[in-house]
Amino acid sequence: MDAASDAANLCLGGPSGLASAPAQTLRGLDVGGLAFGYKVANARDVNRDGFDDVAVSAVASNNQRGKVFIFLGGATGLNPTPAYTLLGSGDALTIPGDLNSAGKADLAVAAPAANAATGRVYIFNLKTQMVSGAPSKTLYGPGAGAHFGQSISH
Ligand SMILES: [Ca+2]
């Protein structure tokens, strides 16, 4: 993450570790202090075209409710224009896999500070919610201060 310019740099790994210079820099569609790149996750291959894709959160956009952008991979790298924009905090995001056996990966986006820190986790089905979709399912924390969704694992 590049906090000064709200950009996410993609650095490629190799036998001697990560390259010091980014191979590609991604920027969000919104402008100004929106914490684009707060979290970055391997989105696996959400559109099943054989190339890995990337999820990048912008936690302060959408009136502080956050957005998550999905960038599709290709033969020459990531497409710099996000293919999907999902609403949600993006405090923690991960691709848990194909939860509903629809043939494509699903995305879990957590908002642990939501609703007096009760916390929420939004599940997006990427087969049916291609653009700016509302979550297909919302999971709620057990009570105030629980910070539900602070950490998610596959
Ligand atoms: Ca893909």
Looking at residue 118, the DSSP 8-state letter turns out to be T
pLDDT over 90 at 74, yes or no: yes
Query: SS3 for 114?
Result: helix
Rounded-to-integer distance, Cα 93 and Cα 68, Å: 9
Residues 6+ apart with CB under 8 A from 75: 51
Which residues surround the ion ligand 1 when the cut-off is CB under 5 Å?
45, 47, 49, 51, 53
CA of 142 to the centre of ligand 1 (A): 35
In contact, 92 and 81? CB cutoff 8 Å: no
Q: pLDDT band for position 109 (50/70/90)?
A: confident
| Span 106-117, average pLDDT | 82
Rounded-to-integer distance, Cα 110 and Cα 52, Å: 22
CA of 47 to the centre of ligand 1 (A): 5
pLDDT in tens, 128-142: 655 556 788 899 999
In contact, 91 and 105? CB cutoff 8 Å: no
Task: Map out the domains of the chain as residue ranges.
Answer: 7-140
CA of 35 to the centre of ligand 1 (A): 25
Q: pTM for the complete prediction? A: 0.74
Identify the residue whose tokens are 């969704």. 149
CA of 51 to the centre of ligand 1 (A): 4
